């Protein structure tokens, strides 16, 4: 595809030879002739002169310097434009055939939309509804009376338990379980009795869920993932959790039951949240933080227990000085001991 045609689709201003043939996309370090790449982070500016890419996407205010290749100048984040270029060369429309595979099991009263794919050995239980254009790939399971919206991608070996509701354009990667029982037990006399989990999971439009994620059904009511939220691999979301719109939940995060998370929240890797707290909108929780109480909106927290990030940084700075402080205390203790002995000897002599 000619570079000029790519610019028409991704947007921006072309500076250079628009007739160059572009055959693929790649990062700035590994790009070869025929590739289009991008520069969005100043830390990679050193690779701009050495990259073998035939074209580079830069920000409008980027320093073009003496670049000996075609350059695409965009008015927005170059990374966003690069994502559009990726879609040109790696379209989301997979090659899997449309229709129901002969080995798939379709229950009674199932409603299947147009242009759907039900892959080998997939199971769709009774009274489910699958929206138009949705793909349910090999070995996946859609439980009784569940709904999956339009244009969804359910990768192989996904489990969607009974009565779950999934919106449009949702992507769920392999190994994920939606609607497993919540971890609810009543302890009496040293024995743990299971509390029936009769709620369900609701996932709104444009959510993406990584591999091996567990989203538990509510005890009663719903566990709710709102539109635009993206969930990384290996995340645990407990019963009755609510996650607001456009939030980012990074790998190995654990969210305990009945916690409410606002919109545009970022939970970085391995953060852990206790149950029954509220996280306000636009909160950022640093990696490996332990959140033990509610966090107001527009706050950055880190550490264990999680505190405002500025406070945590001062604590870490103080901790870094502890070895020197220990030496100082040891030295001062010796001086105090010497002074005490001197005072004792003077008092005896008097």
Higher pLDDT pick, 70 / 88: 88
208, β-bridge pairs: 171, 230
Query: Would you state the pLDDT for residue 17?
Result: 86
DSSP 197: -
Task: Tell me the pLDDT band of 62, cut-offs 50, 70 and 90.
Answer: low
Cα separation of 122 and 174, whole Å?
A: 13
Look at the alpha carbons of 332, 337, 341, 347 in this order and tell me if their dihedral is positive or negative.
Answer: positive
Range of the domain at 123: 99-310
Mean model confidence pLDDT for the chain: 93
pLDDT class for 64, splitting at 50, 70, 90?
low
Cα 67 to Cα 39, 54, 335: the distances in Å are 13, 11, 66
For residue 63, say if its preceding peptide bond is cis, omega within 30 degrees of 0.
no
Which one, of 238, 230, 236, 182, lies nearest residue 210 by Cα? 230
Q: Tell me if 118 is assigned to some domain.
A: yes
Q: What percentage of the chain exceeds 90 in pLDDT?
A: 78
Per-residue confidence (pLDDT) for residue 238, from 0 to 100: 98
Tell whether 21 is covered by a domain.
yes
**Does residue 239 carry a catalytic annotation?**
yes
**CB of 314 closer than 8 Å to CB of 296:** no
Last residue of a domain, one of 54, 71, 89: 89
Q: Are residues 326 and 306 in the same domain?
A: no
Has residue 11 got a pLDDT over 70? yes
Residue 68's pLDDT band (boundaries 50, 70, 90)?
low
What CATH number does the domain containing 42 carry? 3.40.1390.10
Tell me what the mean pLDDT of segment 26-36 comes to.
93
The string of pLDDT tens digits covering residues 183-196 is 999 999 999 999 99
Domain presence at residue 195: yes
CB atoms within 10 A of CB 5: 12
Confidence band for 220, pLDDT divided at 50, 70 and 90: very high
Q: What are phi and psi for residue 153, nearest 5 degrees?
A: -125, 110
- Cα torsion at 318, 324, 329, 335 (round to 10°)? -150
Tens digits of residue pLDDT in 131-185: 999 999 999 999 999 999 999 999 999 999 999 999 999 999 999 999 999 999 9
Residues 214 and 74 in one domain: no
Instruction: Give the predicted TM-score (pTM) of the model.
Output: 0.85
Q: List the catalytic residue out of 94, 173, 239, 276.
A: 239
Is 64 contained in some domain?
A: yes
Please check whether residue 94 lies inside any domain of the structure: no
Three-state DSSP string of 26-93: CCCCCCCCCEEEECCCHHHHHHCCCCCCCEEEEECCCCCCCCCCEEEEECCCHHHHHHHHHHHHCCCC
pLDDT of residue 159: 99
Instruction: Look at residue 315 and tell me if it is in a domain.
Output: no
Say if CB 192 and CB 206 are below 8 A apart: no
Q: How many residues does the chain have?
A: 350
What band does 197 get if pLDDT is binned at 50, 70 and 90? very high
Query: Residues 287-346: pLDDT tens digits?
Result: 999 999 999 999 999 999 999 999 999 999 999 999 999 999 999 999 998 888 888 777
Radius of gyration of the chain (CA): 28
Asked if residue 249 lies in contact with residue 230, where contact means CB atoms within 8 angstroms, the answer is yes
Q: Tokens for 294, please give them.
A: 């509610």
- pLDDT of 92 > 90? The answer is no
| pLDDT in the model for residue 16 | 84
Same domain? For 138 and 159 the reply is yes
pLDDT at 50: 87
Same domain assignment for residues 333 and 232: no
Output the CA torsion sign for 164, 169, 175, 176: negative
Tell me: do 306 and 253 sit in the same domain.
yes
Query: 109-127 pLDDT, tens per residue?
Result: 999 999 999 999 999 999 9
Same domain? 247 vs 119? yes
CATH code where residue 135 lies:
2.160.10.10
How many domains does the chain contain in total? 3
Give the Cα separation of 82 and 116 in Å (integer).
29
Around Cβ 342, how many Cβ atoms within 10 Å? 10
**Final residue of a structural domain among 89, 111, 127:** 89
Q: pLDDT band for 214, please (50, 70, 90 cuts).
A: very high
Least confident of 46-50, 65-69, 78-82: 65-69
């Amino acid at each position: 595809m000619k570079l000029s045609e790519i610019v028409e689709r991704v947007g921006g201003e072309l500076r250079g030879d628009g007739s160059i043939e572009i055959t693929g996309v790649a990062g700035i370090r590994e790009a070869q002739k025929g590739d289009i790449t991008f520069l969005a982070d100043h830390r990679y500016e050193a690779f701009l002169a050495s990259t073998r890419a035939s074209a580079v996407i830069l920000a409008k205010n980027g320093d073009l310097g003496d670049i000996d290749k075609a350059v695409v100048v965009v008015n927005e984040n170059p990374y966003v434009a690069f994502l559009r270029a990726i879609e040109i060369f790696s379209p989301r429309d997979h090659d899997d055939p449309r229709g129901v595979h002969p080995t798939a099991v379709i229950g009674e009263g199932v409603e299947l939309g147009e242009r759907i794919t039900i892959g080998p050995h997939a199971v769709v239980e009774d009274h489910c509804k699958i929206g138009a254009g949705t793909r349910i790939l090999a070995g996946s399971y859609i439980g009784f009376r569940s709904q999956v919206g339009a244009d969804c991608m359910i990768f192989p070996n996904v489990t969607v338990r009974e009565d779950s509701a999934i919106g449009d354009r949702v992507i769920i990667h392999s190994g994920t379980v939606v609607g497993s029982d919540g971890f609810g037990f009543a302890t009496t006399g040293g024995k743990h009795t299971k509390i029936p989990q009769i709620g369900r999971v609701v996932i709104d439009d444009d959510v993406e869920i990584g591999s091996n994620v567990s989203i538990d059904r509510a005890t009663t009511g719903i566990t709710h993932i709102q539109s635009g939220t993206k969930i990384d691999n290996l995340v645990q979301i407990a019963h009755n959790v609510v996650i607001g719109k456009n939030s980012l939940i990074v790998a190995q995060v654990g969210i305990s039951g009945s916690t409410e998370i606002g919109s545009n929240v970022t939970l970085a890797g391995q953060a852990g949240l206790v149950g029954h707290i509220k996280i306000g909108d636009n909160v950022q929780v640093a990696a490996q933080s332990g959140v033990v109480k509610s966090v107001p909106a527009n706050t950055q927290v880190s550490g264990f227990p999680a505190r405002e990030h500025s406070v945590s940084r001062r604590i870490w700075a103080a901790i870094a000085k502890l070895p020197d402080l220990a030496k100082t205390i040891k030295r001062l203790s010796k001086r105090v001991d010497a002074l005490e002995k001197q005072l004792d000897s003077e008092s005896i002599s008097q």
